[in-house]
Amino acid sequence: MSAATLLLVHGAGGSHLTWRRQFDKLSDKFRIIAIDLPGHGRSEGGGEVTVPAYCRHVLDLMESLDLRNVVLGGHSMGGAIALEIALMGSSRVGALLLVGTGARLRVLPAIFSIIREDFVVAIEGVGNFMFGSGASGDLINEEKQLLAKNSGDIMLKDFTACDSFDAKDRVGSISLPTLIVCGKEDRLTPSKYSEFLHEKIAGSEAVFFDECGHMPMLEQSDKFNNCVSSFLLKL
């Protein structure tokens, strides 16, 4: 049997590098593809302002690479994209990995105003807000530097896309095998969002990491990789 393909979608202001601690550890057993959404990382373009518009780019990639039975993984806004694609009924998706995300992703008005006022201050604030008590200063600084590589305009667009996303009434119809991972100290997508997904998506598995914030794939990468690996091997 061929190795599972894991297609990973980053969140607001992120890039494929969100998954940098997964490439080495998971690629010996699985095929890992991490997209840069338009305007992020190495992808050109101006970004999008809705989750369905971002979905189109992920669907195009799956089609152009003719990916089948994909495990579609998404973090935060990327999780909203994965949920929406599952709800569209894409026949290319065989399972979901939902990391620090939710069925509704309303954004604090203060996040919009600070990005508009001073992007450098916004990076500092959002960067700190993203991590839990177990994260090292080095990791937090590394992530702030990566966030700063995208423009304020792209970040505003991403948060606009998150803010209008609401699939709370629809996610109950998802029946794909699903793994949900969330930090117990996540302040951007509180763990109750993941509990809600777990409750609504029949047969889903959920794991909640102690001393972990919004970035479990970076904050506790070994534990995260083990959970994902066990899930993929069971499919």
Which positions lie near ligand COA, rule CB under 6 A?
12, 76, 102-108, 111, 162, 188-189, 192-193, 196
Q: C-alpha 73: how far from its chain's center?
A: 7
Query: From the CB of 188, what's the least distance to ligand COA, in Å?
Result: 4
- What Rg value do the Cα atoms of the chain yield, rounded? 16
Q: Quote the crossing angle between the two packed helices 152-163 and 109-117, to the nearest 10°.
A: 170
What tokens were used for 75? Answer: 């973090």
Task: Give the single-character DSSP code of 104.
Answer: B
Strands of the sheet containing 178-183, edge to edge, are 31-35, 5-9, 70-75, 93-99, 178-183, 205-209
Query: From the CB of 150, what's the least distance to ligand COA, in Å?
Result: 15
Distance CA 217, CA 40 (A): 19
Whose Cβ is closer to ligand COA: residue 168's or residue 223's? Answer: 168
Query: From the CB of 44, what's the least distance to ligand COA, in Å?
Result: 24
Whose Cβ is closer to ligand COA: residue 3's or residue 110's? Answer: 110
Query: From the CB of 193, what's the least distance to ligand COA, in Å?
Result: 4
Query: From the CB of 13, what's the least distance to ligand COA, in Å?
Result: 10
Distance CA 233, CA 103 (A): 26
Distance CA 15, CA 181 (A): 19
Whose Cβ is closer to ligand COA: residue 62's or residue 83's? Answer: 83
Distance CA 120, CA 222 (A): 31
Whose Cβ is closer to ligand COA: residue 104's or residue 170's? Answer: 104
Largest Cα–Cα distance in the chain?
A: 53
Query: From the CB of 156, what's the least distance to ligand COA, in Å?
Result: 12
Residue nearest to ligand COA (CB): 102
Q: C-alpha 113: how far from its chain's center?
A: 23
